[in-house]
Amino acid sequence: MAFHVSDQISLGGFRDKPNEDRVGLSMGHAWVIDGATGLGEPFMGTGSDAVWLAQRAHEAFTRHAAMADPRALLERAADDLVAAFEAERSRSLQEPWELPCGAFMLASLGEAGLTITWSGDCRALVQAGDGPVLAFGATPVSEEAEAVLVARLGRGGDPARRYAQPEALAELRAGRGLVLAPGNAFILAPDRGFLKHLNQATIATKQASLLMMTDGFAAAELRYGLYAGAEAMIQAARSSGLARMGEQLRRFEHETDPDGVLKPRWKRCDDATAIWLQIGG
């Protein structure tokens, strides 16, 4: 049993910013990683703490991909992230919200079938044969919660940087600080605490289609309603391809709702990454 890549895409959200997503495939594992946009001055001295986190996590996943057990892979990756953070940080940590963090979705093949392990708001859709589409990670409910917060705090600001308004920034920092409490991080970070809060599911199948994506790509379904559910997303990947789906996503963000009035959001466009995989012998 192996992964076969049918398609993949990674679109940056801003022309003047690096893409803070990563996508990878090695041995019996595949993944997408989404670095969370920093809420203050860069901590790692690289210009983007989100890029640092996504790149170091991608390197660690690749380095330890020979480990079949996804939990073991993530434990080694966590050790690497902690060591890299201590070696490369530019100053001491003053507030928990400063810690580089992000989300990931990891798919792993094993004797039991396909195991999906995730932290944060990436999304995976799995269809075994002609069976139902199973969804993991971000949901319409979780995405709606963000839209409500944006509608309350982000109206009237630059639609490209609403999150940077003082009131919004203060609330976002407070929320991220709770999520990144030292030793108990709830999402991917250079802190072994995130290992306590992993989500995992195993699908007993030897043949399947798998669409994994960061929340910026999943927005086409979950935020904007361009696809009527997970089944429609899978069908679009199969029939239209990810490039066409990416074009539709950006058309909505740039032309249909550039100011985020119809669909409130922190940024006009987010980085959008997806990989379309077939699983078989």
- Summarised one tens digit per residue, pLDDT across range 9-23 is 999 997 778 999 999
- Summarised one tens digit per residue, pLDDT across range 127-166 is 998 899 999 999 998 888 888 888 887 666 566 667 778 8
Tell me the β-bridge partners of 117: 106, 200
Phi and psi for 73 in degrees, rounded to 5? -60, -45
pLDDT at 143: 86
Helices 166-179 + 140-153 axis angle, to 10:
140
Which residues neighbour 259 within 8 Å (Cβ) at sequence distance 6 or greater?
Answer: 159, 268
pLDDT at 267: 87
29 three-state secondary structure:
strand
What CATH number did the domain enclosing 129 receive? 3.60.40.10
* CA–CA dist 275, 10 (Å, integer): 9
pLDDT at 154: 65
pLDDT at 261: 86
- In this structure, are residues 8 and 280 in contact, taking their beta carbons and an 8 Å threshold? no
Could you give the number of structural domains in the chain? 1
Q: Is 80 exceeded by the pLDDT of residue 218?
A: yes
Q: Find the farthest-apart pair of alpha carbons in the chain and give their distance in angstroms, rounded.
A: 53
pLDDT at 166: 84
pLDDT at 155: 64
pLDDT at 62: 98
Mean pLDDT computed over 262-272: 91
* CA–CA dist 74, 67 (Å, integer): 10
Q: Which two tokens stand for residue 206?
A: 């030897």
User: Measured at the alpha carbon of residue 186, what is the angle toward residues 78 and 217, in degrees to the nearest 5?
Assistant: 90
- Summarised one tens digit per residue, pLDDT across range 47-100 is 899 999 999 999 999 999 999 999 999 999 999 999 999 999 999 999 999 999
Q: What is the pTM of this model?
A: 0.95
* CA–CA dist 242, 111 (Å, integer): 30
Lowest mean pLDDT among 145-159, 209-223, 252-266: 145-159
Q: How confident is the model at residue 281 (pLDDT cuts 50, 70, 90)?
A: low
Q: Which two tokens stand for residue 259?
A: 């100011």
Average pLDDT for the chain: 93
Neighbour-count burial of 41, counting CB atoms closer than 10 A to its CB (0-12 exposed, 13-18 middle, 19+ buried): exposed
* CA–CA dist 67, 182 (Å, integer): 28
Q: How confident is the model at residue 172 (pLDDT cuts 50, 70, 90)?
A: very high
pLDDT at 158: 61
> In which domain, by residue range, is 193 found?
2-280
* CA–CA dist 142, 129 (Å, integer): 28
Mean pLDDT computed over 228-242: 97
Q: Which residue has the higher pLDDT, 140 or 108?
A: 108
Q: What single-letter amino acid sits at 137?
A: G
